[in-house]
Amino acid sequence: MMTHFVIAPDKFKGTLSGQDFCTIVQAIVEDQGGNAVAVPLADGGDGTLDAFGGPNRYTDVTGPQGERVTCPWRLDGDHAIIETALCSGLVLAGGTEANDAMTATSKGSGEIIAEAVKQGAKTIVVGIGGSAMTDGGEPALRAIQAAGGPWPDVDLLVACDVQTRFVQAAEVFAPQKGATPEQVELLTQRLEKIRQTYRDEFGLDVQDTPGSGAAGGLGGALLALGAQFRPGIDLVAEQQGFYDHLNTADVVITGEGRLDATSLAGKVVGSVIEHTSEPVIVIVGQADADVVLPDHVTLVDLSAIHGLDQAMHDPAGCIRATLPGILQTL
């Protein structure tokens, strides 16, 4: 009987997308006589757009420091996929050193949501990792309102993997975005004022909801507009039909760039392992030595086999050199 594989990786950040991982592994599986279905996944942060097939739309919006940026996003029928990092992201702002934590804005995130609705989206998945701002999401909210939102016939789904609440966003995340201790205090005060504004305007205390502090409070702003929060991996997995595919799997192959304790707590690899008792092959660029995996999991640590430099710079070549031998042992 032909072995059926489900390939469901996260990205290897900065070196290999989930889609590219799937292409490489699927070719190896089929070369060895198996068949495979590719289901690239993500946890709601960077890589979410790629997991759905990458962008097919590009829209100019307000960037994190007020500049114009071209934001890639996806529209598939009436389903839109948006990564806020691609319009309001810390990388766009030049990273921690270059970002102005006090002025960084979420406005572009609101503009891209409004554009998706304009182009016919009825379900919008918003991944909100990797942001530059701590502005409570108010500029995004006002941009959505200016375009006629919120829209009663549009489902706004927020993919979020943090539990930080609205006012705590400054304390938890702003230092990573370039804020000094003094600025963290000012940003916290600003978030408290915006919290009160939302409470007065929408009758909702966003502070009550875990995850409302995601993306510097953008999560809370979208919550105030009626968005539903979902764990990023669950939302992406459901949208991709992963759980249906898993029912047919004889072997599951997943992977990510670095495996550590957080990988097993709400991330892609941990969720894949948790949802199946079938054999799982986990391919990673590098694994922390203290990570303990269940008995049905085979770990392939490319850095341990090929060296860290090779694993970082050519993970594709390392996978092609290693995986055929692993599959022959099944």
Percent of the chain with pLDDT over 70: 100
Categorize the per-residue pLDDT at 2 as very low, low, confident or very high, splitting at 50, 70 and 90.
Answer: confident
Categorize the per-residue pLDDT at 187 as very low, low, confident or very high, splitting at 50, 70 and 90.
Answer: very high
Q: Is 64 helix (H, G, I), strand (E, B) or coil?
A: coil
| First and final C-alpha spacing in the chain | 13
How do residues 126-135 score in pLDDT, each as one tens digit?
999 899 999 9
How do residues 30-66 score in pLDDT, each as one tens digit?
999 999 999 999 988 888 998 888 999 999 999 999 9
DSSP state of 130: S
Q: Is the pLDDT score of 256 beyond 90?
A: yes
How do residues 156-178 score in pLDDT, each as one tens digit?
999 988 899 999 999 999 999 99
Go through the domains of the chain in sequence order and give each one's CATH number: 4-41+241-328 (3.40.50.10350), 48-233 (3.90.1510.10)
Contacts of 227 (CB under 8 A, 6+ apart): 126, 156, 157, 158
How do residues 84-114 score in pLDDT, each as one tens digit?
999 999 999 999 999 999 999 999 999 999 9
Q: Is the pLDDT score of 141 beyond 80?
A: yes
- Residue 161 has a pLDDT of 80
Contacts of 149 (CB under 8 A, 6+ apart): 113, 114, 117, 225
Taking residue 228's Cβ as centre, other Cβ atoms within 10 Å add up to 11
Using DSSP, how many helices (H) and how many strands (E) does the chain show?
A: 15, 11
Q: Is the pLDDT score of 1 beyond 60?
A: no
Distance, CA of 174 to CA of 254 (rounded, Å): 32
How do residues 196-225 score in pLDDT, each as one tens digit?
999 999 999 999 999 999 999 999 999 999
Q: Which residues pair with 124 in a beta bridge?
A: 80, 156
Helices (H), the chain: 18-31, 48-51, 85-88, 95-98, 107-118, 138-146, 169-173, 181-202, 214-224, 232-239, 242-246, 268-274, 302-306, 308-313, 315-328
Categorize the per-residue pLDDT at 148 as very low, low, confident or very high, splitting at 50, 70 and 90.
Answer: very high
Average pLDDT of the chain to the nearest whole number: 95
- Residue 109 has a pLDDT of 98
Q: Is the pLDDT score of 289 beyond 80?
A: yes
